[in-house]
Amino acid sequence: MRIPAVLLSRPVRIGVPGAVLAVFLLIAPSSFDGYGISLMSKALALGVLAVSVSILAGYSGLPTMGQAAPFLVGAYTAGVMSTHGHTVGVLQLLCGTLVAAAFAAATGLVAIRTRGVAFLMTTLALGELTVTAAGEWRSLTGGTDGMYGITPIQPLPGMAALSSDRSIYWFVLTATAIVIAVVWWVLRSPVGKLLLACRDHEARMRSAGHPVTRYQWLAYVAAGALAGFGGVLMCTVNAYVSPDDGSFSNSALVLLAVVLGGATSPLGALLGAGLIVATQDWLSGPFPGHGPLLLGLMFIVAVYALPDGVAGIRFRAPKRRGGPA
């Protein structure tokens, strides 16, 4: 069966699912209870993290297994601010984003030196180090028990604190919509083309005179900032942060979300994150303890059934010291 061309045109391919998603996000809360709404909030926060992975893995050819680390940094920034009485949501988002960006700027200097699987493993190692530090730095982070009973935020100075799951959802949705729009706008600009070109053929970019390492470092920092933004949102949703938020499996799950969503689509990454939250927290409800099993099956199905999504995450062509010509 041939699909009519009009259905494949870009506005239709992106606009229709986008519109459906938007309608769902706006309408669904009215028919959901607090649990369903908070799951949606969680999915959005995780979705922002997934979008940051899509920038790295999908656009820049840097498949990361440690993006939960800047996410964790953002979440802790929000937690620490709350304990010091800074409960303005917008301010927390700003600071969490900046601190995570600074964190990514430092770790990026290390990670960006590596390629392909080595990058995967370096980010994994950096992630594990971050989780360890979060558990050990007790005076700041509260240690392995995490930070709990975090004060509800006020979106803007002078506004009332967000007391219900519903109000938190609207805040998270607004913040996510704004940041995704910004990401979308940037990736659709020539900047996105630069990143895609680096992913397609890094050596050619260098030969053409592009400072590829600088681009990728900047992408790494931007993705880190975005992950930090997601972390702040997650802290708002859960009112709780612990080192476990930065775990290796969180990083792997968002990579799966990106695969499910099609590698270079922010909207897809958001949907992928939604699917993962639905599986992990909702579908597995009747089979307590078997959430990992369902996720494992999802990984397996995704690898075989969605080759495009996986292939979209391409390894950077490694520096090859070629043989004699």
Binding to another protein in span 182-211, by CB under 8 A:
189-191, 193-194, 196-197, 199-201, 203-211
CB of 62 to another protein, least distance (A): 11
- Among residue numbers 10 through 29, which ones bind another protein (CB under 8 A)? 13
Q: Is 166 in the site for another protein (CB under 8 A)?
A: no
Least distance from C-beta 144 to another protein, angstroms?
4
Phi-psi region at 17: left, alpha or beta (left = phi > 0; alpha = psi -120 to 50): alpha
Dump strand ranges (E) for the chain.
none
Residue number with CB closer to another protein (24 or 156): 24
Candidates 18, 86, 114, 184; binder of another protein (CB under 8 A) is 114
End-to-end CA distance of the chain: 48
Number of residues located near another protein, criterion CB under 8 A: 120
Compute φ and ψ for 154, nearest 5 degrees.
Answer: -105, 130
Q: Which residues ranging from 207 to 266 are in contact with another protein (CB under 8 A)?
A: 207-212, 234, 238-242, 244-245, 247, 252, 255-256, 259-260, 262
DSSP letter (8 states) at residue 164: S
Interface with another protein, residue 137, by CB under 8 A: no
**Residue 128 or 154 having the CB closest to another protein:** 128
For residue 320, the tally of other CB atoms under 10 A from its CB is: 7
Is residue 257 within 8 A of residue 276, CB to CB? The reply is: yes
Residue in this structure with the two tokens 């045109």, named with its chain if needed = 9
Distances (CA, A) of 265 to 38, 74, 183: 24, 23, 11
Could you give the CA distance from residue 281 to residue 61 in angstroms, rounded to a whole number?
A: 30
Choose, by CB under 8 A, the member of 3, 6, 10, 160 that binds another protein: 3
Site for another protein in 263-292 (CB under 8 A): 275, 278-279, 281-292
Binding residues among 62-101 for another protein as defined by CB under 8 A: 63
Q: Is 181 in the site for another protein (CB under 8 A)?
A: no
Min CB(174)–another protein separation in Å: 21
Burial (CB count within 10 angstroms: exposed 0-12, middle 13-18, buried 19+), residue 323: exposed
Pick from 115, 122, 101: nearest CA to 221 = 101
Q: What is the nearest approach in angstroms of another protein to the Cβ of residue 21?
A: 14
Residue 174 sits in the site that holds another protein (CB under 8 A): no
Closest CA to 61 of 119, 102, 124: 119
The angle subtended at Cα 56 by Cα 52 and Cα 58, nearest 5°, is 100
Q: Is 121 in the site for another protein (CB under 8 A)?
A: yes
106 binds another protein (CB under 8 A): no
What is the x/- site pattern for another protein, positions 28-47, by CB under 8 A? -----xxxx-xx--x-----
